[in-house]
Amino acid sequence: MAPETSRPQAETRIITVGEQRLRIAIRSGNGTRTPLLLVNGIGVNFEVLQPFVDALNPAIEVLRFDVPGTGGSPAPRIPYRFSMYAWLVTKMLDRLGYQQVDVLGVSWGGALAQQFAFQYPRRCRRLILVSTGTGALMVPGNPSALAKIATPRRYQDPVHMEQIAGEIYGGKVRTHPEYAHEFAQTARPGSTLGYFYQMLGGVGWTSIPWLRKLRQPTLILHGDDDPLVPLVNAKIMHRLIPHSQLYIFHDGHLGLGTSAQELAQVVDLFLTAPVSSSTGKEYSLISSSIKNMHERKPPIQCQVSFFFVLQLAGFLGDTKDKGKGLLS
């Protein structure tokens, strides 16, 4: 990672895409790498991903945006479906002059990343899915944790956030309250209407029918202590996405920030590894480069439960399934 004083700084501004105003941030790279688009989780502004951005190779240009209704982007007039969010992303890329990007989506943003990669395959070179699932058809998480994210109160009340963060996010946040404090202080509440619109956008949506059609090399990152999205969902996606690889890390739902150094290294290796023209796979190179890789594990057979009603309480679910850091 670059020293603190030499980290490239991001330019933040407001742009208009159609009738929608979007707050964006662009951290310039050196022009040799495909730009990386980061898509946030539900109800949260792009600043919460700053630790990960700081840990990324400075050669990578990084684009972030506040989803409509969060941070500095006003809520849309009507709720968007994920297909409409994906369309908005393409128009944003057009407005900014990007022909193709690598896409990383976290939690709710992982669902949007899946939709974007499927709907606009030529605009997405490689796909990274973090702490996310397949939508209405997925294994649900801890009901208590899901109930606590049914409203944006945690973003509006930092004290409340710090009190419940360990229970809902798991991982290092359970034992290191400073992570919860930093997250609570960084998160800027959007509108309650915008939060509700984001939740409505996911109602009934699932990627299960078309995951096998994804063309992009895909990296799935998931923590082994995530009370919102069960680890088993990552394994299901890994089974369904043809050119995918699963990396399990020892952390929770906020691992992209609390394990930023580790995951930035994995992401950089994934984005730079060559792809075989015959198989589309580059994973053996990554596996040999990560020091904490363990033995390959056989695929786990999972039964997918129908998850629709609880989706209104936060869209994504949790796991007690523990794993080791691995690429398989």
Q: Which residues are catalytic?
A: 107
Nearest alpha carbon to residue 72 among 133, 13, 129: 13
- In the numeric block, which tokens belong to residue 153? 């109160």
Which string of b and e fits 54-68 if b means at least 16 CB within 10 Å? bbbbbebbbbbbbbb
For helices 82-96 and 108-119, give the axis angle rounded to 10 degrees.
70
Which residue reads 């974007």 in tokens? 116
Residue type present at position 221:
L
The answer to whether the beta carbons of residues 226 and 319 sit under 8 Å apart is yes
The rounded Cα 176 to chain-centroid distance in angstroms is 22
CA torsion 267-269-271-274 (nearest 10°) is: -160
- In the numeric block, which tokens belong to residue 97? 């002059």
What lies within 8 Å, CB to CB, of 69 at 6+ separation is 43, 75, 76, 190, 191, 193, 194, 195, 197, 198
If phi over 0 gives left and psi between -120 and 50 gives alpha, with beta otherwise, what is residue 69? left
CA–CA gap between residue 326 and residue 245 (Å, rounded): 9
SS percent in the chain: helix, strand, coil, step 5: 40, 15, 40
